[in-house]
Structure 1
């Protein structure tokens, strides 16, 4: 008789927390503050967006803890949605995660890793193939190689994957703290921080086209609208915290350790992100010169290619700062993708077990990991690397993700009514107030995004809805 394969419970609280934090910290924190500064202007509004992001992320993590305790099985959020809403809604979530969310983020993070590797090896920025507007650069091929390597490593067993994740998470948090400490030490010796906070609540939207800068002063509801629009940047930088729920079947005492790791991981990242932004404000002027080639003079708003992290590092370490920051982002993105790849395969495994994904994805290899699910994820993420559309995919994915976060957290209310006697080792802190505030605020952000960025968010919604005919076809085929 063939031995039945099942997941091994290899992951304790420390490794679970490192997976939460490591999956969250990619390249976003080193880039998006520059975009946010152009969107809304004042230092106070930028920090408010990051604080709101931290609150929303923590509120969601506190709420997910209850669902994780109730359903400590592989698949996580997919399983929670199915329990509250049924198979079709859970399929729409899994379909969206496979089509753009997990694979799109893996592709974008891999390309970011390759772009910063190109700082050391400029040849990677050269094109291998160019056909009209379509081109394939060497860095896209390196991005694919990095995904293949990490998929291979994660196929060797969850123990190998968790150890790699822990090493990279520890390295990037240590490096980020070094950037913060040195940044504040150097920055506080100047008046830059106080100058940036002099008119911290003045709001403006800046655009630069063909070298011409246009500034629009924001007042009243226009400020709130722009805050809701630009917060998508910080929310993307803080996303992927829910990946820990996908691997619940491999976590020791998941009823206790998943809620704890969600809270600890999101709290650590929230604090690090706020301190990193303070370091940026201490080192660089907010309103720089868009025509300057000097990194200090460009300031936060006009950082070269939005690489505010590199500009900050150059103030601290001089010319070497660009290479130091490139190395840090390489470590950060490589470690981030390790966690994303490890977790994603488990969700597709759970879908396969329900007959909603390729049958082969529901098999475990000799190392008790869903090898074929991981390789399917690898193949599609690699295709997205070649597409050159990963930047757009992130916009679609983040909006779609917010919709499913709302649904999942509202599922707590549904399940409390539908299954009042189901054991809940952990109950959502602040229920029903905290989950309700989250649902209301994120719903308002989604409405705001539909108004301010209709095309991208509309496409995100379309990708979700495309799953309906696919689900109906699969159900008819199975009947």
Structure 2
């Protein structure tokens, strides 16, 4: 423990989260609208049912590899800043700040706004406002209510998250039940062995593209790192939370895709615009469409709440390190929440909702940029494990990645491939990402012109939480 840490008497995050709450948050972040859309694309590019199913299994295994890497980092250095803190220790404050800026400017707030629009689109189908701005109104209302909920405290938001995640999982169970119902000869299922012509020519490139969508659907488990400082019990509890969450998510994803295949066949999956809606309609009739809209709305708001919980903690960590941004580093001890950081995050997300309502295509391009930026810093965070093994060999590590350095290098290779793929397929969005990082560089230059940051050490030793 460094002298700076000893003298720091400011309110800090406390270990109040249970394993159940952590699992609910992780599962809630990962299982969003993607599982209701991506399976159609994966079916198109897989070529056969067995290849498709193995793609979803492989996605879970790859996620588990990454989780083991993050479990070592988070158990060794539990910190509310998550990736921001790991990047600081490994590469210094500049790289860490650029990550925090990208996360605040678009990655987290853009995700919150986009999830708000998904929620708004489906709520508009259930309860329309009678205006073209209906989706934006629902998105704004969801943001306001969830901000109020999170300001009440971590226990309130985490408990709500547990109930939302339970409802979300029950929705996926309903999809699985529909698949079983159709596979037994009820309803009007399509023969599951049917394959569309375009799939038979699927090659390595198509398989790689299928994995892009699979891994995007699994994305978000790494947010567990932001909870590491607030989990009570052994520091290895973060490992348990990650393994349990990814195991549950993988089982659900494989079962849901089996249900889609059984109910719609490969052709039906590949040609569907709303695969879950088509399955439920085939199994339960017109009522299935209403149930589907409610399921996606719940999934969207569940991911939205979980993203808000973890997102504000990066802003809090930045406020602790940079005196000019100290207002972000205020921790409300009684409620266990970084209130100012949460207000800032919600304000930025609200601006994106307003922008998205006025120029929807521009909003989509702006949000698309998150993929290359996300995978760039994901790659750097994974390599940080190797850097810190060399730089800080004697640091206490309650958990060590097995088969080091093979497993971290394999996952780093996956991140590198995903970075390349996202740059190839996103294109315009990638340039938006570069522009946002450039703005962050200007802001960093302005901050460094002023007072020196609170922690000038390249590894951030003085600000562990």
Q: Which TM-score band applies after superposition, normalised by the shorter structure?
A: 0.7 to 0.9
Residue among 240, 251, 256 paired with 2:236: 256
How far off is 1:256 after superposition? 1.6
Whole-Å Cα distance in 1 between the matches of residues 323 and 262 of structure 2? Answer: 51
Could you tell me how far 1:186 is from its partner in structure 2? 1.8
Q: TM-score, normalised by structure 2?
A: 0.87
**Secondary structure of 1:284 counterpart:** helix
Residue 265 (structure 1) shift: 0.8
Of 139, 144, 150, the residue aligned with 1:148 is: 144
- Alpha carbons of structure 1 residues 240 and 380: separation in structure 2 relative to 1, 3 Å: same
CA contact (8 A) 2:192 2:263 kept: no
Tell me whether 462-471 or 321-330 shows the greater mean CA deviation.
Answer: 462-471
**Structure 1 counterpart of 2:459:** none
- Counterpart in the other structure of 2:344: 376
Distance 1:146 1:302 in 2: 32
Is 1:437 the equivalent of 2:410?
yes
Structure 2 residue 311 is matched with structure 1 residue 321: no
Structure 1 range deviating more: 316-325 or 352-361: 352-361
On the 8 A contact 2:368/2:426 being kept in 1, the answer is: no
Higher helix share: 2
The aligned runs of 1:124-135 (5 Å cut-off) are 126-127=131-132
Maintained 8 Å contact 2:369/2:426: no
1:229 aligns with 2:198: no
Contact 1:300/1:308 (CA < 8 Å) preserved in 2?
yes
Matched, 1:341 2:314: no
Q: Residue 276 of structure 1 aligns with which residue?
A: 256
SS at the partner of 1:97? helix
CA distance in 2, matches of 1:448, 1:105: 20
Normalised by the length of structure 1, the TM-score is 0.85
Measure, in 1, the Cα distance between the counterparts of 2:187 and 2:147: 47
Of Structure 1 and Structure 2, which has the larger fraction of its residues in strand?
1
| 1:60–1:435 contact (8 Å) kept in structure 2 | yes
Tell whether 2:338 aligns with 1:358. no
> In 2, distance between residues paired with 1:315 and 1:465?
50
**1:93 aligned to 93, 99, 112, which one?**
99
The whole-number CA distance in structure 2 between the counterparts of 1:96 and 1:421 is: 32
The alpha-carbon distance between structure 1 residues 4 and 454, as it changes in their structure 2 partners (threshold 3 A), is closer
Measured in 2, the distance between the counterparts of 1:371 and 1:250 equals: 16
Q: 2:56 aligns with which of 50, 59, 63?
A: 50
**Superposition deviation, residue 142 in structure 1:** 1.3
Give distance in 2, aligned partners of 1:232 and 1:44: 18
- The reply to whether residue 417 of structure 1 matches residue 390 of structure 2 is yes
Pick closer, same or farther for the CA change 1:423–1:48 going to 2, 3 Å: same
Aligned residues: CA RMSD: 2.5
- Report Cα offsets for 1:210-232 as digits up to 9, x if no partner: xxxxxxx746xxx3233333433
Distance 1:256 1:402 in 2: 26
Alignment partners' CA distance in 1, 2:192 and 2:371: 30
Q: How far apart are residue 36 of structure 1 and its match?
A: 3.4
Secondary structure of 1:227's counterpart equals helix
Counterpart among 259, 268, 275 of residue 308 in structure 1: 275
